[in-house]
């Protein structure tokens, strides 16, 4: 009986060692969800992302990037949406990303952002104003 108990404990310890946290830089790379495609890069000690694609990014010709017309800063309203910095200041802390900012080209607002790597190829982020519970979750897949 003692051998069986010891075996179960060792098996559980081995399983939990495989479920350790992924490294912070595992978030780097290209990610896509149903509405967006982003490229996450490191900026000092934080993580940011450029907007590569969104379902509403291009004019009717399908080639010309729309402008950032809803930006509250009049000087930025003429910049193209494609390639703009969409996410900034994500900090990796205790296995999660927090304190980030998400700029929305749809409404010109900036939201708080947090996230977590579910696996090497799955990322979950939540954008919100004020309370995370009232935000929106995005599930991302890594683009190979």
pLDDT at position 50, please?
Answer: 98
Position with higher pLDDT, 6 vs 111: 111
- Topology of domain 22-142, CATH: Lipocalin (2.40.128)
Structure tokens at 86: 């969409």
pLDDT, one tens digit per residue, over 87-135 is: 999 999 999 999 999 999 999 999 999 999 999 999 999 999 999 999 9
CA angle 74, 78, 79 (to 5 degrees): 110
With beta carbons less than 8 A apart as the criterion, state whether 113 and 125 touch: yes
Determine contact, residues 53/82, Cβ cutoff 8 Å.
Answer: yes
pLDDT interval class at 6 (50, 70, 90): very low
pLDDT for 1:
57
What's the mean pLDDT in 56-60?
94
pLDDT 10s digits, 17-52? 344 578 999 999 999 999 999 999 999 999 999 999
- Asked if 79 and 66 touch (Cβ cutoff 8 Å), the reply is no
Q: Which residue has the tokens 């291009």?
A: 58
Mean pLDDT along residues 135-142:
97
């Amino acid at each position: 009986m003692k051998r069986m108990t010891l075996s179960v404990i060792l098996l559980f310890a081995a399983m939990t060692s495989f479920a350790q946290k992924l490294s912070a830089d595992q978030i780097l790379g290209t990610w896509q969800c149903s509405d967006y495609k982003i490229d996450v890069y490191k900026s000092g000690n934080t993580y940011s992302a450029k907007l590569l694609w969104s379902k509403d990014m291009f004019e009717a010709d399908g080639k010309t990037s729309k402008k950032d017309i809803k930006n509250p800063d009049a000087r930025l309203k003429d910049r193209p949406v494609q390639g703009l910095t969409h996410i900034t200041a994500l900090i990796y802390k205790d296995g999660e990303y927090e304190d980030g900012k998400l700029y929305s080209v749809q409404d010109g607002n900036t939201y708080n952002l947090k996230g977590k790597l579910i696996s090497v190829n799955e990322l979950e982020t939540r954008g919100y104003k004020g309370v995370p519970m009232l935000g929106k979750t995005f599930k991302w897949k890594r683009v190979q």
